[in-house]
Amino acid sequence: MAGGSSIDVLGQFELRPVLGGLGEALRFSQSPLYMILAACLVLAFLYFGMRPAAVVPGRFQAAAEVCYEFIHSMAVDTIGPEGTAFFPFIFTLFFFILAGNYIGLLPFSFTFTSHIAVTLALAVMVFLLTVIVSFKVQGFRFFAHFMPAGASMFLAPLLIPIEILSFLSRPVSLSIRLFANMVAGHVMFDIFASFVIMLAGFGVVGDVFAIGPIAINMALVALELLVGVLQAYVFAILTCIYLREAVAH
């Protein structure tokens, strides 16, 4: 960042083409590579977890089933009976983000959820989906969303612009929340890790004091594990809430 020339906390977000010229031509950086890795990991987890297909599940199968039932109940409880139709989408969304967040915590890896292009694309996808579903289910009553039921007509000139603005700001808040959380976490990692290296330059005293930033980084890993699942959950639950609004009659 601004101060030390030795600290480059943003370099970790740099995109580099994979496979040299071919990656350059296909615009294929390490970000899509990690997306594929994340998707494959989730699929492998489900595949190998569910392979026994036992009536009495083992630990691995139980874990896979817990993931399924967690998202399923979230979708059905929040969206309603129509939630079963959206369940695969919510599941994909949640585990795509969760796997991206968690893979990013591994050293030398890349966090694709720390790119606003990715999170904004996800958020716009959710936004467009809710708008399309809303139009399909409610037709032109979709526009009734912008005038809360029971509100006085006097307040309409005030409420309608606010409601439209809040509706349009959904993809922005959805994407920036995830993006900012992931960037902030990784920047903090980098800053404290750089402190360790800088302190190492001060000899024995520095070595002793370097324990501090290392301890902080260890605590940050725990925090980031929480943030990673929390942000995936927030993204998924907000999508469910928007979809419930869209399928409401």
Partner 1 sequence: MGVMMKMVRAGLFATVSGVSLLVMAAPGAHATGMPQLDFHNPLVTGQVIWGAVIFLGFYLVLSQVMLPRVGRVLEDRSKRISGDLDVARAAKQDADKAVAELQQARKDAMAEAQANLQKTLDAEQHATDQKLADISARLTAEIADAEKRISAEKAQAFGTLKEIAADTTQALVSRLTGVTPDAQLVAQKVDGAIAHRNI
Q: Lay out the site mask for partner 1 across 117-146 (x = CB under 8 A, - = otherwise).
A: xx--xx--x---------------------
Q: Of residues 1-20, which lie at the interface with partner 1 (CB under 8 A)? A: 10-11, 13-17
The burial of 142, by beta-carbon neighbours within 10 Å (0-12 exposed, 13-18 middle, 19 or more buried), is given as: middle
Q: Is 48 in the site for partner 1 (CB under 8 A)?
A: no
Q: Is 170 in the site for partner 1 (CB under 8 A)?
A: no
| Two tokens, residue 38 | 């994340």
C-alpha span between 91 and 68 (Å, rounded): 8
Q: Is 109 in the site for partner 1 (CB under 8 A)?
A: no
Sequence-ordered alpha helix ranges (H) in 83-155: 83-103, 116-138
Residue in 64, 103, 133, 243 binding partner 1, rule: CB under 8 A:
64
Positive or negative, the CA dihedral 90, 117, 174, 245 is: negative
Nearest CA to 95 out of 58, 29, 60, 45 is that of 45
Whichever of 36 and 208 has its CB closer to partner 1, that residue is 36
On whether the CB atoms of residues 84 and 78 are closer than 8 A, the answer is no
Residues within the interface to partner 1 (CB under 8 A): 10-11, 13-17, 26-29, 31-32, 35-36, 39, 42-43, 46-47, 50, 53-55, 61, 64-65, 68-69, 87-89, 91-92, 96, 112, 114-118, 121-122, 125, 154, 157-158, 161-162, 165, 179, 183
